[in-house]
Amino acid sequence: MSPGRQLRIWLLVFLAFAAFIWLFSEMLLPFVAGMAIAYFLDPLADRLERLGAPRWMAATIVLLSFALVAILAFILVLPLVRSQIVQFAHAVPGWVAWIREEGIPRAVALAERLSPEEVERLKAAVSDYAGTAVGWVAGMLRGLLSGGVALFDVISILLITPIVAFYLLRDWDRLVGAVDGWLPRQHVETVREQAREVDDTLAGFVRGQATVCLVLGTFYAVALSLAGLQFGLVIGMTAGLLSFIPYVGSLVGFVASVGIAFFQYDELWRVGLVVGIFIFGQAVEGNFLTPKLVGERVGLHPVWVMFALLAGGSLYGFTGVLLAVPVAAVIGVLVRFLLTQYLSSSLYTGGTGNGTSAGPDGTAGAPAELPPAPPATKVRAPVDATPAP
C-alpha cells in the first residue's frame, strides 16, 4: 500500500472518530469518566495482580477503595460547605446594601470628575468587555451543562460510571494487547514508542497536577479559615480544584478572597494577611510543588493546557473537559515526533535527508556543516520506559 493511501485511510479514521465524539458527546460523559478512572487506577490493580490476586479481585478492591475514599471525603466536607453556603446567603443582602449606599455614590462622584467624552469612552469600553466576558462565560456554562449533568441525571452517572470503570479496569491489559495487535507491523515499534511517550506525559501531568490541586486546596481552605475569612473553606477548595488549569485557580481564589476581605474587615492588615496567603501559596506551588510533582518532563505547557481545557469545554461540554488533557498530550507527542522527523529530513538540512549535502551530480556528498539549532527547536528525547500495560 502506498504512503499516500495509508495517509488517506488514517485521515478517514480520525474524521470518523471526531464525528463519533461530536454526535454522541451528550451521552459519553459516564463512559469517558469510567475510562479515566480505570486508566489512573490501573497501576494499583497491576500491583495487586503481581502480589497474586486475580485480576477481577484486584479491580474490585481498587475500585471499592476509591469509591470509599470519595464517599468519606464527601461526607466530611458536605456539612462544612453547606454551612458556608448558608452564610453566603445571609451575607448577600449586606453586600447589596453596601453597594447601594456606598459603592454607587462613590462611582457617581468619580464619574463627575471626568469629562463627558471620557465617561462615554469608559461606558463603551465597559460595555464591550463586559458583554464579551458574560457571553463567553454563559456559552461555557451552557456547553458544560448541555453536555454534562443536564442530559444525564446524577443517579444515572453514579450507576453507569462505576460499571464502565470496573469492566475496563478488569480487561485493561487485554484491551491494550488487542489494540497493539491492530497496529501496522512495519510501524509497530514507532507507534509503541509514541504510545509510551503519551502514557508517560499524560500520567505524569494528571497525577502530578491532581496532587498539586489537593495540596493547594487544603492549604488555602485551612489558611483562609484560620484567618477568619467568611467562606474561606469554599473559596480555598474551589481555588485548589481550579488549579488543575494552571494559574486560574489561584487567580480566582485571590480575587474572591480579597473582595470578601474588603467587605468583611475594617483593618487593612487583615486584607494584607489574605493577600499574603495567596502569595505564599503561589510561591510554594511555583518553586516546589509543580517542579517536584509535575516537572518539565511531561512537556505540556500551561498555556497549551488552558487552551485545550477551554476549547474542550466549549465544544463538547464536560465530556470535552475530560478529553482535553489526553488529546493535548497526544497532539504534543505527535508534534514533537513530527518535528524530530523534520529536523532529520532534507526539508530542514537541504540535502538528502540524513544530514548530508548533495553533490554536484545529485548524489550524497560530505556531511553538511549546519549551524546549531536554535533553542526553540530543541526536542525532548523519547523517554525510556517499559510498555504501558
Average pLDDT across the chain, whole number: 77
Question: What's the confidence (pLDDT) of residue 198?
Answer: 87
Residue 364 to residue 370: CA distance in whole angstroms: 15
Question: What's the confidence (pLDDT) of residue 54?
Answer: 93
Question: What's the confidence (pLDDT) of residue 130?
Answer: 54
Domain ranges of the chain: 24-182
Segment 184-213 shows an average pLDDT of 84
Question: What's the confidence (pLDDT) of residue 359?
Answer: 44
Segment 264-270 shows an average pLDDT of 84
Segment 121-140 shows an average pLDDT of 60
pLDDT tens digits, one per residue of 199-224: 888 888 887 888 888 899 999 999 99
**Among 335, 328, 278, CA closest to 307:** 328
If one compares 148 and 192, the residue with the highest pLDDT of the two is 192
Q: Which of 82-86, 180-184, 222-226 has the lowest mean pLDDT?
A: 82-86
Question: What's the confidence (pLDDT) of residue 15?
Answer: 87
Q: What is the pTM of this model?
A: 0.64
